[in-house]
Structure 1
Amino acid sequence: MNWKFWNKKKTNTKAKKKTKSREWLDAIVFAVIAATLIRTFFIEAYTIPTPSMERSLLVGDFLFVSKLNYGPRTPMTPVAFPFAHHTMPLINTKAYWDGIKLPYYRLPGFSDVKKGDVVVFNYPMDADSPLYRPVDKRENFIKRCQGVGGDTLSVVNAQVFINGKAAENPPEAQIDYSVQTTGVNLNPDVLQDLHVSMYEGATYPTMTKDAYLTLKGYSNIKSITPNIKKQGDADWVYPTNPNHPAVAPNLLFAKQHDFKWNVDNYGPIIIPKKGWTVKLDTVTYPIYARCISVYENNKVQIVGNDILINGKKADSYTFKMNYYWMMGDNRHDSDDSRFWGFVPEDHIVGKALFVWMSIDDDASFFSKIRWSRLFKIIH
């Protein structure tokens, strides 16, 4: 049998060589896909933009956040521009298309969210006007978890209590203090060494407990006391904070119950847990209405003194998700759960692991890198 025709065909067949531009395109596509998978399911880099976690985390810290610890959350808004969270840089337009939305699902993780964990999560208030962002496209916040579903949380004189017991305070936690001197001003170098801060617009210095104890022993300190609001001095906190329009529907019922809470004396409040049934009345409805309507997607109406959920009168509600209570370590300069309430489990992004870089924008050029913070484990 003559195989020459086959050999000839085989000999003349040549693989088309890719052009340089095609090779570059293939490499870029592969890199984008690989990086997206890593960011979505394994680990992602974040930066600290505000002082709400100082002095545990500093403005200018760059972190790695694990998606594996609590289980990777699958994309809920899958059509999005790579590496842009919710807004396109420069042109300031949406970086996603919300025409396709997928249900919340989380792959198995190493552990549940625990009290004391430093957690990155989506800011729940971005669900409201004017942004109306999908869950996974809401702004990233970082706070410390103070309570989990089923816990009863209260704050008494700036001390957090969980189920009646004082919670362990982070070693670098800060609050504001009132300071009076004998007339001799404090040495600025001493304040800098103790990391005592005076934020823009603030009237009281902010410091850790260790710094407070050190300053207390100085001869020119006449008095130094924590600047803590008294019990019964009502403040604009959740669930009656008028600064957040989303709580406005609660105010009708809230006025029937006098919530005399503030940032330093708050609660007690029960954090919702999946499967927990709460009785709805003038006390509980203002606290849990946002969870029921916004986070668990029910239509809630108030008709007279009746509460209607999806058109039916209800005197109780069973929660579908676990919730968490998040607070900043810089207790008097933190926008956290005391102002806007609970964080639902579908908002949890990941656990902060360690600082890989830290840059001080206020320092001189040769001192900008905080070398002592590189690869610092986050506790």
Structure 2
Amino acid sequence: MAGYFAIFLVILTLVSGLIWLLDALVLAPKRRERLVLAQTGAGNQLAPEVSDTLLKEPAVVETAKSIFPVIAAITLFRSFLYEPFQIPSGSMMPTLLVGDFILVEKFSYDVKDPVWRTTLYHNKLPERGDVAVFKYPEQPTVDFIKRIIGLPGDRIIYRDKQLYIEKACTTGQTTGCGNLERIALTHVPDNQFFQGRYQQRRFHEALGEKGHNILVTPGMQEQVRDYYPQPGTAIDEFVVPEGHYFAVGDNRDNSRDSRFWGFVPADNLVGKAVFIWMSFEFSEDPDSWLPGWVPVGVRFERLGKIE
């Protein structure tokens, strides 16, 4: 089921639309009838202000008619086209930072209704390397954003901060699958990221068409003991079931993802993150007089397409 805000928008759209329809079919004709009767009784000498009063719409009708087109357009836009999200944590650094505002393309995958999230139209399937928003399997009212690294049938190993993938073979495919592949990492010099007191290292990971950057924290041990225990596999090995996906954060040592809670059902997918349309910077000074949620700057250089 959708989140509370989506349900609220749909209900508001329906209520305001029904009030408008009720007024058009029932209430407005009755107001006009009362005006005709009043004019007849006054010998067609009814004062203009009296006519205005008799035809005046109730406040609730006036409000519904003014907000319905706007609310309906917003509901359709965010339900089937693009939905804005704010990045609340650092689990997708360096790709996405806290304070980034992104657009998620809802029609990239299956198109779903905005309340019950039943599939209305089957579109494309996620591709390896997509940054996707989905309903958190353990709490479906919460939206998560991670990178899809495992497709149905893939075998995933994450060991010693290194990703390995054995891609599943599709019907008739004989090359580029069936062999465990070490995903190449290329170090990118960058000293700006820390996790607590630990310096993080930035790498370019050659996954998908163009690859992407990730962060690892050499000083931190992998939390292997907390990994999702899939029956029949090693603790750091995962075989993606049919109809599911394996999603991890780009900030590999600071992300609670499929390694810890399992797989993302296809029905939980919300859409593909495609664009950063705003990025605010917040103060990290604990002695600052400004509240932590107040922006101190705009990172214009971050605006653009998400890789």
**Alignment pair present for 1:340 and 2:261:** yes
Which residue of 96, 107, 110 corresponds with 2:121?
A: 107
TM-score (norm 1): 0.53
**Alignment pair present for 1:325 and 2:239:** no
CA RMSD of aligned residues (A): 3.4
Do the aligned partners of residues 344 and 169 (structure 1) sit closer, same or farther apart at CA in structure 2, a change above 3 Å counting? farther
Q: Is the 8 A contact 2:283 2:295 kept in 1?
A: no
CA distance in 2, matches of 1:195, 1:106: 44
SS in structure 2 at match of 1:332:
coil
TM superposition outliers: structure 1 runs of 4+ over 3 Å? 14-24, 167-172, 227-230, 363-367
Structure number with greater CO (CA < 8 Å, separation at least 6) is: 1
CA distance in 1, matches of 2:224, 2:283: 37
| Alignment-mate amino acid for residue 300 of structure 2 | W
- Corresponding residue of 2:301: 372
Deviation at 1:157, TM superposition (A): 2.1
Do the aligned partners of residues 169 and 329 (structure 1) sit closer, same or farther apart at CA in structure 2, a change above 3 Å counting? farther
- Corresponding residue of 2:191: 194
- Corresponding residue of 2:67: 28
| Alignment-mate amino acid for residue 181 of structure 2 | K
SS in structure 2 at match of 1:51:
coil
Map 1:178-193 to 2 at 5 A.
none
**Alignment pair present for 1:165 and 2:134:** no
Deviation at 1:20, TM superposition (A): 8.3
Q: Is the 8 A contact 1:154 1:160 kept in 2?
A: yes
| Alignment-mate amino acid for residue 198 of structure 1 | Q
Do the aligned partners of residues 330 and 346 (structure 1) sit closer, same or farther apart at CA in structure 2, a change above 3 Å counting? same
**Alignment pair present for 1:56 and 2:95:** yes
Same amino acid, percent of matched pairs: 33
- Corresponding residue of 1:272: 241
- Corresponding residue of 1:209: 203
CA distance in 1, matches of 2:101, 2:72: 23
Deviations 1:17-62 (A, max 9, x none): 5548433321212222221121111110000000000011000000
CA distance in 2, matches of 1:326, 1:145: 4
| Alignment-mate amino acid for residue 166 of structure 1 | R
Deviation at 1:326, TM superposition (A): 0.3
Structure (1/2) with the larger strand percentage = 2
| Alignment-mate amino acid for residue 207 of structure 1 | R
Gaps of 5+ in 2: 1-35, 41-50, 167-179, 205-216, 285-289
CA distance in 1, matches of 2:100, 2:186: 18
Deviations 1:328-367 (A, max 9, x none): 0000000100000000000000000110000111179895
SS in structure 1 at match of 2:138:
helix
- Corresponding residue of 2:150: 147
Mean Cα deviation higher: 147-156 or 358-367: 358-367
- Corresponding residue of 1:238: 228
SS in structure 2 at match of 1:235:
helix
Q: How many pairs were matched up?
A: 226
Which residue of 69, 84, 103 corresponds with 1:45?
A: 84
SS in structure 1 at match of 2:107:
coil
| Alignment-mate amino acid for residue 151 of structure 1 | D
Mean Cα deviation higher: 54-63 or 14-23: 14-23
Do the aligned partners of residues 146 and 61 (structure 1) sit closer, same or farther apart at CA in structure 2, a change above 3 Å counting? same
CA distance in 1, matches of 2:224, 2:90: 25
Q: Is the 8 A contact 1:42 1:72 kept in 2?
A: no
TM-score (norm 2): 0.64
SS in structure 2 at match of 1:28:
helix
**Alignment pair present for 1:156 and 2:159:** yes
Deviations 1:38-93 (A, max 9, x none): 1111110000000000011000000000011113212453xxxxxxxxxxxxxxxx
CA distance in 2, matches of 1:18, 1:153: 67
Map 1:346-357 to 2 at 5 A.
346-357=267-278
